Structure 1
Amino acid sequence: MRKSLFILVSLIVLSVSCSDRDDDLTSVQLRIKNSSSLTFDRVLVENEEHIYENVGSDAFSDYQEYESAYRYNYIQITSGEETFVLQPIDFVGEEELPIGLYTYDLSITEEGEVVLEFVID
């Protein structure tokens, strides 16, 4: 009896632990990783609808839903009194991202330029 109960519990735990975190997604989910030594007080991505706040150095934000997103985007970072901007020139040839989990890994150079590394989670 104990053996049967153990096997049943093991199977339940195994089946629950095998699901991917992106199995139930219905939209693009995007988060920010701060790879700089600064704390990002505010990160605006694309427009005022997508604002991430208080992303510490080497930390991640929570995911936010997007109706559509691209491998890169307009980004405005505020850290203290300083503002840093990444302004894409155009999106010609760029395709919308499929439903999934993504990260914009952001850093700032010594010259104050925003560097974006796109990561598929």
Structure 2
Amino acid sequence: MKISGVLTLLFLFLGACGIQDGRPNGVFIRVQNNSDVNYENVVIQTGSVEQAFGDILLRTTSEYREFEYAFRFGAVWLEAEGKDLSLVPNDYVGEMPLKNGFYTYRIGLSSANLTDAGLVLDLVEE
């Protein structure tokens, strides 16, 4: 009886984590701060879902967040040393949603001079 209870709990845990048969069951995205400044109030929108990632220290990575679906790029809003920065795509026309899996949005700055910098986003498939 104890073994079946443990197996049931294990099955429920793995199902809750979005992993079935060793493969992810969903799109999981994390954000990597690829700059030398701290990011505050990071918000990502890809598809129709917006999620807050909070503060991400320089050269660190957030935890994964699950999205129902996502694209290889998304809208990004954040603050860097008190300056509001954003990167907003025009549309997703012609884009295919990402397959289930784990991805990292690596977000950097286009210039070392923060007053002239914009955001740069690269997708990394895990």
- Quickly name the TM-score band, shorter chain normalised: 0.7 to 0.9
* Alpha carbons 1:42, 1:79 under 8 Å: kept: no
* Structure 2 match to 1:31: 30
Task: Measure, in 1, the Cα distance between the counterparts of 2:65 and 2:82.
Answer: 25
Moved more, 76-85 or 45-54: 45-54
Q: Aligned residue pairs: how many?
A: 101
* Structure 2 match to 1:14: none
* Structure 1 match to 2:40: 41
Q: Secondary structure at the match of 1:33?
A: strand
CA-CA distance at 1:48 after TM superposition: 7.7
Task: Measure, in 1, the Cα distance between the counterparts of 2:24 and 2:123.
Answer: 19
* Alpha carbons 2:33, 2:39 under 8 Å: kept: yes
* Structure 2 match to 1:113: 118
Matches within 5 A, 1:1-121: 23-46=22-45, 49-110=50-111, 111-121=116-126
TM-score normalized by structure 1? Answer: 0.76
Task: Measure, in 2, the Cα distance between the counterparts of 1:48 and 1:112.
Answer: 26
CA-CA distance at 1:106 after TM superposition: 0.4
Q: Secondary structure at the match of 1:50?
A: strand
Give unpaired runs (5+ residues) of structure 2: 1-18
Which is richer in strand?
2
Task: Measure, in 1, the Cα distance between the counterparts of 2:42 and 2:55.
Answer: 8
Give the % identical residues.
26
> Radius of gyration: which is bigger?
1
Give unpaired runs (5+ residues) of structure 1: 1-20
Q: Per-residue displacement from partner, 1:60-90 (whole Å, max 9, x unpaired)?
A: 0000000010000111011242111001011
Task: Measure, in 2, the Cα distance between the counterparts of 1:76 and 1:85.
Answer: 4
